[in-house]
Structure 1
Amino acid sequence: MPFIDSAFLAIKNAGAKTLVIDLRNNEGGVEEYGGYLYAYLARQPFVYYRKVTVANNKEPTVKQYAFLPPGYEQALPHVQEKNGEFLWPLQEYLSEHLPKANAFNHKVYILTNGFSFSVTAEFASTVRTTKRAIFIGEETGGAYEGNNSGVFASVTLPNTKLTAGIPLMGFYMNTDDRTKKDRGIQPDITLVATVQDLLKGRDVVLEKAIEE
């Protein structure tokens, strides 16, 4: 991932001692990006996902109504049934990974809000678990424990022609406290911009990170 690699090389060459990562209004993306980015903050070997699941190892019943991404059905024979769950093993970050050579080892601040979810919340969950950063802003929209995403069945409703994406995979983070279900990642410093802040063009959350 050239941008992440070059960014952390530039940070290292600049001799930076503090890093602010702004995850506000970031709706996520490719799963592997979160684990790859975290490897640049990690101080020790880590396992990113505790498990990845699917509903079963059969052809999805929604297939007759939906478009499925290429390769999903072909991968189903690899699904492993264990203790009533169907585990998806084809995910790189289920195994242990090492910190990157140019990993940033100094102070980190992460800015979040309610529009930080999916892969973004997965990354934030791992950072929170390892106590690798100070969080400023608002609770993430994505859950601390994990989320449903990965592969989506795209269904077009027959009458309205509206298209809905149905996630087919469950991602469970390797968190330290699995009692924190149904909530997002809580900030260490809660800050919500007021209407006056917005009208004045002030970013009070970023200001707080710089002030710290």
Structure 2
Amino acid sequence: MKKTILLLLVLLVLMSCRSVKKHNEQITKLHDVISLHEDIDKIYEQLKRHHPKLYQYTSKEVLDFKFDSLKNTIKTPIDSREFYRKLAPVVSQVKQGHISLSSANKWYTKRERKKLLKRKFEFYALDFEYLENKLWVKNTRGKDSTIVGSEVVKIEEDLVSDLIDVYKTRFSSDGYNTTLHNRYVGRHFSNFYYNDKGFVDSLKVTFKNKDSLFVKTFRREQKPKKSKKQDSTKAIKPKKLTSAEKKVNRLAFKKKRKFNRKHGFIKKRKEYTRNFGFIKKAKDVAYIKLRSFTNGNYKKFYKESFAKLDSARTKYLILDLRDNGGGRIAEIDYLYSYLAKESYKFIEDSEVNSRVPFLKFLMSNTTSNSLKILSGIVSPIIVVQNLIRTRKRDGKLYYRFRHTKIKTPRPLRFKGDMYVLINGNSFSASSLISTHLKATKRATFVGEETGGAYNGTVAGIYKIYELPNTRLKIRMGMMQIEAPQKQEPDGYGVKPDIEISPTINDRRLEKDSELEWILNDIEEKG
């Protein structure tokens, strides 16, 4: 039995190594023109088959022309990365923000990954922001903090301004919105650079601080090993804890773990997804910062937060949704139940292209074989559930979520005045809840137009499809998620009542001009 298990493990390792080698050969070789044209046809076919709002912002005639033109421009063999550079701008013409195309990057064996984990590359520890048509180092999780606040001028021989112009063509917002482009390209600049250039061991970067240029070379370096005490006999032995002390430590650990889960602790950045506090000692102004609607136990956070607001009889609530890229519909529906003034319907039935959308989502060519087998076993249940929830109306298919039911606000709902902070990176779910708050005149909005559309977005569940020849992957939403409220013209985000955009000088002075406006407005109201 042991020999059989050992043999199976060896075979799995060998198969894994072969698949890594095969993948890397596939993405680096030059693909013939016929294969490239086949992948273009495949990706457009997948979009037409699964995306319910493919022609919402760009007509069929225009998209047909874009994809045909791309085929006509490819007349010589190219590798997968070059194909990504050509294909991404065409896919972005769909103008649906949840569609993304990933470049074909190198795979690594388990041994190679383990070796890479022992090395650090400080360039990827930098946080960037794009302000006033320039790329700035906003923060660093590395050791060199002297470059924070500097402008990034060149990377190797490429002008950053040229890179930014190119990267902006490789993704889109929902519709015709433009604020997302500047916010998103800065926030995700490292990812764009990696998709463009691939793995590198060193980068020469030219920075500008005030009027001075300087160059810093980032290298992939070995992480420092933990120092060992040379003389173990002199090492201080840890104090032996009593049973009572051990119990106190266990309880403290459990308490901290619950707190981290409730607030959505982000280990990599050592910060929380959900944050609550009072700005004034009198507790008449509260501030909730939500970085996303994803990780953690959100119900406990909102229950406790709104109980505190009710107990303190707070007059003003500031909801900060800047740089919130979205997340769970269930969470924003739950949050809105504490903010709504009257009964509401959170979303409409979702337009889909299939009666069994969840089965289509599970049975993709990127789904692991084990998950496909499991999905096949439970498929009768999935199919029945999908058929019960899917209905045809006016020649279109619609899927009904539980969030389409009429709901009433919670007893502890906040009844005071609200302000909402938004910017171009307020996307998806954060735009959806903003639509409700804006349409019902529940809050004063301060900042920039949201990157997500007022009239909804195609998201919900996602199809990830890998192109057969070049191995590029496309990710697309499969459900139109929208609030009952609509605005004209279509294709724009939730717009602020008070438009304020941060400046370079604000960042240098560590000044939050949007938040300051709100606090001054509250002060004037007395």
Q: How does 1:145-160 map to 2 (within 5 A)?
A: 145-158=455-468
Taking the aligned partners of 2:421 and 2:449, their CA distance within structure 1 comes to 10
Structure 2 counterpart of 1:65, from 338, 343, 365: 365
Unmatched runs of 5 consecutive residues or more in structure 2? 1-298, 522-526
Give the structure 2 partner of residue 19 of structure 1.
317
Q: Deviations over 1:141-171 (max 9, x none)?
A: 0000001111112234455655432111111
Report the residue type matching 2:397 in the other structure: F
1:85 to 396, 402, 417: 396
Q: Deviations over 1:180-205 (max 9, x none)?
A: 41000000000001111111111101
Q: Is 195-204 or 148-157 further displaced after alignment?
A: 148-157
Among candidates 189, 194, 210, match of residue 503 of structure 2: 194
Q: Which amino acid aligns with 1:5?
A: K
> What is the one-letter code of the residue matched to 1:194?
T
Q: How far apart are residue 13 of structure 1 and its match?
A: 1.3
What SS does structure 2 have at the residue aligned with 1:49? Answer: coil
Shift of residue 12, structure 1, vs aligned partner: 1.1
**Counterpart of 1:30 in structure 2: which amino acid?**
R
Within-5 A mapping of 1:106-125: 106-125=416-435
Bigger proportion of residues as strand: 1
Mark the structure with the bigger radius of gyration: 2
- State the match for 1:51 in structure 2: 349
Aligned equivalents of 2:432 and 2:445: distance in 1? 14
SS of 1:143's equivalent in the other structure is coil
> After superposition, where does 1:104-183 map in structure 2 within 5 Å?
104-158=414-468, 161-175=471-485, 177-183=486-492
Give CA deviations for 1:111-167 in whole Å, capped at 9, x if unaligned: 000000111100000111111000000000000000111111223445565543211
Code of the residue aligned with 2:395 in structure 1: it is: G
1:111 alignment partner AA: L
On the 8 A contact 2:332/2:429 being kept in 1, the answer is yes
Partner SS, residue 165 of structure 1: strand
Q: How many residues align?
A: 210
Report 1 or 2 for greater relative contact order, CA contacts < 8 Å, sequence distance ≥ 6: 1
Alignment CA distance shift 1:64-1:136 (3 Å)? closer
Amino acid at match of 1:165: R
Q: Is the 8 A contact 1:144 1:180 kept in 2?
A: no
CA gap 1:39/1:64 in 2 versus in 1, 3 angstroms: closer
Aligned residue identity for 1:169: M
The separation in 1 between residues aligned to 2:367 and 2:518, in whole angstroms, is 44
Contact 2:364 2:463 in 1 (8 A): no
Q: 1:135/1:62 Cα in 2 relative to 1: closer, same or farther (>3 Å)?
A: same
Report the TM-score, using the length of structure 2 for normalisation: 0.38
CA separation of 1:61/1:98 partners in 2, compared to 1, >3 Å: closer, same or farther? closer
- Distance change in 2, residues 1:2/1:208 (3 Å): same
Work out whether residues 51 and 87 of structure 1, in 8 Å CA contact, stay in contact via their aligned partners in 2. yes
**Residue identity matched to 1:135:** F
* Distance in 1 (alpha carbons) for counterparts of 2:467 and 2:323: 28
Name the stretch that deviates more: 65-74 or 132-141: 65-74
Q: Is the 8 A contact 1:32 1:92 kept in 2?
A: no
Distance 1:160 1:206, change over 3 A: farther
Asked whether the equivalents of residues 361 and 463 of structure 2 are also in contact (C-alpha less than 8 Å), the reply is no
- Which residue of structure 1 lines up, in the alignment, with residue 330 of structure 2? 32
Change (3 A) 1:180 1:92: farther
Contact 1:66 1:153 in 2 (8 A): no
More helix by share: 2
CA distance in 2, matches of 1:150, 1:123: 15
Distance of 1:160 and 1:19 partners within structure 2: 50
Q: CA distance change for structure 1 residues 174 and 161 in 2, over 3 Å: closer, same or farther?
A: same
SS class of match (2:475): strand
TM-score between both structures, scaled by the size of structure 1: 0.90
| Paired residue type of 1:102 | L
Deviation at 1:42, TM superposition (A): 0.9
Deviations 1:59-87 (A, max 9, x none): 64994524399689534312111111111
Distance 1:154 1:211, change over 3 A: same
- Structure 1 pair 155/104, CA: closer, same or farther in 2 (3 Å)? same
Q: Does 1:98 align with 2:408?
A: yes
